[in-house]
Amino acid sequence: MQSNSSQLKEFVSRRSFLGAAAAAISSGTIMATPFAAAQSKSEISKGEQNHSSSNPGPVNRPIAGQNPSSEAPPVTDRGDVGPFWYSFDLSHRRIQDGGWTRQVTEKDLPISRDLAGVNMRLTAGGYRELHWHTANEWAFMIHGNARVTVLNPDGTIFIDDVSEGDLWYFPAGFPHSIQGLGPDGCEFLLVFDEGGFSEYQTFLISDWLARTPPEVISKNFGLPEATLKSLPDDELYIFQGQLPGSLEDDRKAVGGKAVESKISYTFRMKAMKPTLETASGDVRIVDSTVFGASRAIASALVRIKPGGMRELHWHPNASEWQYWISGSGRMTVFASSGKARTMNFNSNDVGFVPAVAGHYIENIGTSDLVFLEMFRSSTYSDVSLNQWIRRVPPQMAREHLRLETSDIEKIPSKNNAVIPATR
């Protein structure tokens, strides 16, 4: 993993925008002028109140409407902080009979070298065929129901059904499959612990057999070559199949308890009791301490009510890869050395925060804001600015913040995660 300091330095210096938004900005359809170091907040604010911020040229209004904090940033934003936003809706969808898939990797969001994401849909009966890959796979069920299988190297098999809000985790190199169930198949998010991972370069059983001489397959399977003529001559990847029987029947059909995996590779995230809960929202944290199979990816499901805020904090052990499920939010990332940038997020967007970079997230909509935080780590860890202030001696806090002791004592002493934006 890249060091925190070098990753943060690259994050600050990167200038290119992404996907369709990149083309819009580079062509001048959306351009926020960098602030000179000598500009004060008052000078910037004055510019916003007069003709200085006008833009008589062409504007890509759909993109500008999605990114108002880039068009008219807060006066506290400053410096050349690269974009930390992308959207699955900018990604190419590969559609096949049985479902579709699209991905956001390091190619789309260059600062994200730790994690990559895939959004996939399977119809009822549709398969993501038997396969394996180089990266660990973490998944969150967005919609519907699916049946998953994964084979352990010791020959035991895990088979389970998952629904909305459930997770699964498949270790790198472990062969597995996913099939959509009734009534409407499924849609899910996959997260891999390689920023450059491509969903289109996995090891597929159909592809392997199509690239293996028939006589070799015949020897391996112990079947006549004539029997093998119906094998696929190319990769299947996603394809339509028939709905399976009951989960119990599938488990019995493969050998029952004698071949059942001792490790559970699924977890009911949405159904769990919140790890942290306040009047303004809640957080469900799932890492290896509660989901033993998930050894390389930690996660949190965050819900912020209207007017609430994910408090000022940072993560000391890993960068943060986000998937925004519902609602509208605004995030500011502090990149040190007087640099900060604010961007807006909506459903199906991806966000990124470098390790140790301070940030906060506000719900700026009228409905609950729900998003996922993912980390390439076995454990979840964050540092609360509020708690830090309250844990240092009062004189130290007073002399740093220039606040009265009575005011400092009103700052929450707990890591509440989600707090009211106004008091």
Would you name the residues annotated as active-site residues? 373
H helical segments located in 27-112 = 41-49, 61-66, 68-71
For residue 81, count other CB atoms closer than 10 A to its CB: 23
Q: Is 137 annotated as a binding residue?
A: yes
> Do the Cβ atoms of 350 and 323 come closer than 8 Å?
yes
- How is residue 25 written in tokens? 């900005």
Q: Is 400 annotated as a binding residue?
A: no
- How is residue 421 written in tokens? 């934006």
Q: Is 133 annotated as a binding residue?
A: yes
Question: What's the gap between Cα 95 and its chain centre?
Answer: 22
- How is residue 248 written in tokens? 């119990």
DSSP designation for 37: T
Q: Is 235 annotated as a binding residue?
A: no
Residues 402, 406, 412, 414, CA torsion sign: positive
Contacts for 134 with CB less than 8 Å, ≥ 6 apart: 172, 173, 194, 197
3-class state of residue 171 by DSSP = coil
Distance (Å, whole) CA 398 – CA 408: 7
Helix (H) or strand (E) holding 286: strand 281-286
> Do the Cβ atoms of 96 and 359 come closer than 8 Å?
no
Residues 232, 233, 237, 238, CA torsion sign: negative
Pick from 297, 303, 335: nearest CA to 318: 297
Calculate the CA dihedral of residues 414, 420, 422, 423 and round it to 10 degrees. Answer: -60
> Do the Cβ atoms of 313 and 299 come closer than 8 Å?
no
Query: In the chain, what's the furthest Cα-to-Cα distance?
Result: 86
Beta bridge partners of 373: 300, 322
Q: Is 176 annotated as a binding residue?
A: yes
Give the annotated binding-site residues.
131, 133, 137, 176, 313, 315, 320, 359
Give the annotated binding-site residues for Mn(2+).
131, 133, 137, 176, 313, 315, 320, 359
